[in-house]
Amino acid sequence: MSVNNLTNRENTYVYQVARPHGEPRAEHFKFVQQPLEPLQEGAALVENLHFSVDPYMRECMEGDWELNEPLEGRTIGRVILSNTLELKPGDLVFHRKGWRTFAQLTPDEARMIIPVEGVPLRAWLGVLGGTGLTAWVALTKIARLQPGESVYISAAAGGVGSAASQIAGLLGAKSIAGSTRSEEKAHLLTEKLGYTDAFVYQPGNISIQLREILPEGFDVYLDNVGGEQLEAAIDSLKDHGRAVLIGAISQYNALTPPTAPRNLFDIVGKSLTLQGFLVRDYQPLQKELEDFLIPHIQRGTVVPLETVTYGFHCIVDAFLSMLTGGNAGKAIVSLE
């Protein structure tokens, strides 16, 4: 693409236009078309190809995202025009200027992706992206999972859950249990994702269900849900167990403060450790994650499970569907 052609192209953005009260809806967003801006010195124009939609974005809607401004999100794109020697046309890059069809990036805003044979490009938004890195950090740096230990994962069929189960198996976990929303997903967990046990959670009954699945308890809990699931996990964790707090999707749309967990003092009695973290603080571990997982993806021993929605016009629908469990694995919007 030449510089002259820029004036003939439009960029399509998604803006958030209102704060949700409870569940977000399509009317909280607006598609906006604007002419492409002139390419700045030291920057590259990137055509975005694949977009990640993630649970953390629901929290961003409460104030981290400015209203009527371009949104952010993990994205993979291809450089089509450049005013910097560090980014060349044809280069594939990972960046955070998502929710738009084109992005201008400086080299420090982009991370180069070198395609690897046998590894889908979209994997860098899933098992090799923020969700995979979250699972890796949770298991290896926070929980410090040891061979022979048992693991329980909530939201087990989501992006983090589908990566964490496979990583836990490779690290030598003895048993890996997961909770999910449907029998179809429970079957997927045990057939394709390395879970040894899976169950469809029943609100008000999760502690009993966990005791039936893992009567001896478990060593490590990866919490993607919060609320009652965290309470049930505290009840079933073994003495000196570790819980890694990743997300609290059960509370994102709550109109009233959560009532659970109500058993926090059990953390003292059982000498438990509960720790949360932000994956952005662990970006230097990206190469460690890739070195570990890429050979397994190439051999087929790790499945980069994803739910792909095609078309930029569907990005809001894909985001809302992900928040209600409409995805299995990583939720991605793709333009190719």
Give the pLDDT confidence of 130-166 residue by residue, as tens digits: 999 999 999 999 999 999 999 999 999 999 999 999 9
What pLDDT, on the 0 to 100 scale, is given for residue 249? 85
What pLDDT, on the 0 to 100 scale, is given for residue 9? 83
What pLDDT, on the 0 to 100 scale, is given for residue 250? 80
Supply the mean pLDDT for the chain: 95
What pLDDT, on the 0 to 100 scale, is given for residue 6? 60
pLDDT reading at 2 higher than 60: no
pLDDT reading at 3 higher than 50: no
Q: How far apart are CA 16 and CA 242, in angstroms?
A: 37
- Which tokens belong to 56? 């953390």
Its sign, for the CA torsion 191, 193, 197, 202, is: negative
What pLDDT, on the 0 to 100 scale, is given for residue 7? 57
Q: How far apart are CA 178 and CA 183, in angstroms?
A: 12
What pLDDT, on the 0 to 100 scale, is given for residue 5? 58
Q: Which whole number is the average pLDDT over 247-276?
A: 88
The domain ranges of the chain are: 3-126+305-334, 130-280
Q: How far apart are CA 326 and CA 334, in angstroms?
A: 16
Q: Are 193 and 167 in contact (CB under 8 A)?
A: no
Q: Which whole number is the average pLDDT over 262-291?
A: 96
- Which tokens belong to 2? 């030449």
CB-based burial of residue 84 (10 Å sphere; 0-12 exposed, 13-18 middle, 19+ buried)?
Answer: middle
- Which tokens belong to 14? 């998604």
Residue type, 160: V
Q: What is the pLDDT of residues 82-119, one digit of tens each?
A: 999 999 999 999 999 999 999 999 999 999 999 999 99
Measured in Å, how far apart are the chain's first and last C-alpha atoms?
A: 19
At the fourth CATH level, the homologous superfamily of domain 130-280 is NAD(P)-binding Rossmann-like Domain (3.40.50.720)
Q: How far apart are CA 52 and CA 123, in angstroms?
A: 11
Q: Are 212 and 241 in contact (CB under 8 A)?
A: no
How is domain 3-126+305-334 classified at the CATH fold level? Quinone Oxidoreductase; Chain A, domain 1 (3.90.180)
Residue type, 279: V
Q: Say if residue 215 is preceded by a cis peptide, omega within 30 of 0.
A: no
Pick from 175-189, 253-267, 286-300, 305-319: least confident: 253-267
Q: What is the pLDDT of residues 41-84, one digit of tens each?
A: 999 999 999 999 999 999 999 999 999 999 999 999 999 999 99
Q: How far apart are CA 239 and CA 25, in angstroms?
A: 42
Q: Are 123 and 304 in contact (CB under 8 A)?
A: yes
pLDDT reading at 312 higher than 80: yes
Q: Which whole number is the average pLDDT over 220-224?
A: 97
- Which tokens belong to 29? 């967003």
The residue with greater pLDDT, 257 or 123, is 123
- Which tokens belong to 108? 């420090």
- Give the pLDDT band of residue 1 (cuts 50, 70, 90): very low
